């Protein structure tokens, strides 16, 4: 899709971005604002969201709204959805980016922290989609870019809950895309490999030496993801090495890929 087509898709349309205060979320905000999109920015820290929104409004002349909300809290996604709908604007695009991971053996993990991960990575994304999709279907335009991961293509020992949540995102997105076939509502799962963001520090894991060849920057990952969304691609894996890994996960026996993933995670100091 040409830059002109991309600008037409996003320009002066409203886009809601979860987890917008840092990492992928902030880069989605910057790149969408550069294409003329108005932004609804949401994350937990209001001061960061306001600073980013004001910066992008000054630089690109776009409008922005801020909703501070903890999506990992019970009822957080419903509260956000209600707040977004109450703004009285047509939200054309949703970037469901908020999420986190946690490294280590599951037996050593906090049950509460694991539940919080499932609530944010799966439940919040589902609730937001359920609340904001119907208006798009009624208008027959718009869509969701759901941030998943290559970890969703195979079992992921030592980040087992995280990988399982991302498998849910991939399956959920692909299922909805088929339900929406024939409409002009997009549904895309972006499945990045390892990327240098604050995710690794928060999850307590490191990018293994064996993974370095597949590392893309956050900015490049976001750019490619938006292009795939604009093309109408349903499941998109950025990077040749990551695509190969995703293909291998489809054709190799599940326990083979689980053993290989365990080896990688041990290389990250988590085995």
Q: Give the total residue count for the chain.
A: 271
CA angle 262, 206, 221 (to 5 degrees): 100
Strand partners, 94: 16, 144
Selecting among 162, 168, 229, 236, the annotated active-site residue is 162
Please give, one letter per residue, the 3-state secondary structure of 244-264. HHHHHHHHCCHHHHHHHHHHH
Structure letter (DSSP) for residue 62: -
- Say how far residue 35 (Cα) sits from the centre of its chain: 19
Give the integer Cα–Cα distance in Å for 236 and 189. Answer: 6
| Among 13, 166, 229, 236, the one annotated catalytic | 166
Catalytic (active site) residue 162: yes
Q: Which residues are designated catalytic? A: 162, 166
């Amino acid at each position: 899709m040409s830059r002109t087509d991309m600008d037409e898709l996003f320009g002066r349309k409203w886009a809601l971005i979860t987890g917008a205060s840092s990492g992928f979320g902030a880069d989605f905000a910057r790149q969408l604002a550069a294409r003329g999109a108005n932004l609804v920015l949401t994350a937990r820290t209001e001061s960061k969201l306001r600073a980013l929104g004001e910066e992008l409004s000054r630089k690109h002349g776009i409008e922005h709204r801020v909703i501070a909300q903890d999506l990992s809290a019970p009822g957080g996604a419903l509260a956000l959805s209600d707040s977004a709908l109450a703004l009285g604007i047509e939200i054309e695009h949703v970037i469901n980016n908020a999420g986190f991971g946690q490294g280590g053996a599951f037996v050593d993990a906090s049950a509460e922290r694991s539940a919080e991960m499932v609530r944010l990575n799966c439940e919040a994304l589902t609730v937001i989609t359920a609340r904001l999709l119907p208006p798009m279907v009624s208008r027959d335009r718009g869509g969701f870019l759901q941030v998943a991961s290559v970890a969703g293509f195979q079992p992921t020992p030592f980040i087992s809950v995280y990988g399982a949540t991302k498998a849910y995102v991939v399956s959920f997105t692909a299922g909805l895309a088929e339900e929406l076939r024939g409409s002009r509502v997009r549904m895309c799962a972006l499945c990045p490999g390892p990327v240098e963001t604050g995710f690794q520090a928060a999850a307590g894991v490191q990018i293994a030496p064996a993974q370095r060849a597949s590392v893309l920057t956050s900015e490049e990952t976001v750019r490619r993801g938006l292009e795939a969304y604009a093309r109408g691609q349903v499941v998109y894996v950025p990077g040749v090495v990551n695509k190969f890994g995703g293909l291998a996960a489809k054709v190799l026996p599940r326990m083979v890929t689980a053993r290989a993933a365990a080896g990688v995670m041990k290389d990250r100091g988590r085995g």
